[in-house]
Structures are given as C-alpha cells and as structure tokens.
Amino acid sequence: MSARIRVELEWPRHNAVRAGDETYFCLERAGSVHLIHSRCPHRGGPLHLGEIEAERLRCPWHGNTFRVDRLCDRAVPTIQRGSSVVAYLPADFGEAVPVQQIVFAS
Ligand code: FES
C-alpha cells in the first residue's frame, strides 16, 4: 500500500483539496461527502469546474459527461463526523491543503 497523507476539511466551508498540482473536490450525495479527483479521464480537464445535469457531471473542456454515482464509487474514501471530513490522499503530491474552491454549478 502506498503512503498516504491525512487531510481534514470543514464541510462545507472547504469543498476541495489542493495537493501539489492536483485538485480533489467534494460532492455530497445521499448524505455522504465524496472526495473526487478532478482530473478528467479524457484529457485531464478540471471536473470541479463542470456542471451537473441529470445526475451526470459535464467536463468543461470537451463536454464528456460522467455518471455522478460512478464518480462517487471511485472517490477517495472519507470519514465524516458532523462538519468534519477526513480523507487519506496519496502522499505523492506532498502537502494536501483544504480550500474553498469555485466548483460546478448544480
Ligand atoms: S478533458 Fe474532459 S472531456 Fe475532454
């Protein structure tokens, strides 16, 4: 198992995490907060700047859409206690910093 670094967010004040050049964004679904890697599988577009339409997230670069439930299934596992959300990210990126980031319009 690769090394991980712990990050704790104050939800919803923080809705994303910056880790090196990578962004992870929060998506709340069915009462749970999911932490999703923002890099689009097509060509690396910023999914956190996309829009959700009919349970699909549209990437802002080329318009491909991804089912929200599948994105949540592949999200970084989180532990949620009240407004505190804890996740363990790959340590490859160095420090992980919770941020308030402009994210998709729902
Ligand atoms: S980079 Fe996301 S659709 Fe092309």
On whether residue 31 sits in a domain, the answer given is: yes
Query: Which one of 47, 61, 66, 71 would you pick to mutate in the ligand 1 pocket, going by the greatest count of ligand atoms within 8 A of its CB?
Result: 61
- Residue 40 CB–ligand 1 contact under 6 Å: yes
pLDDT at residue 100 in the model: 87
Per the structure, how many domains does the chain have? 1
- The number of the ligand 1 atom at minimal distance from the alpha carbon of 63 is 3
**Single-letter residue type at 98:** P
pTM: 0.90
On whether residue 105 sits in a domain, the answer given is: no
For 24, 26, 47, the CA distances from 37, given in Å and listed in that order, are: 4, 9, 8
Per-residue pLDDT of the chain (106 residues; tens, 9 = 90+): 679 999 999 998 999 999 989 999 999 998 899 999 999 999 999 999 999 999 999 999 999 999 999 999 999 999 999 999 999 998 888 889 999 876 655 5
pLDDT at residue 90 in the model: 86
Domain that holds residue 22: 4-99
CATH number at residue 31: 2.102.10.10
- Residue 41 CB–ligand 1 contact under 6 Å: no
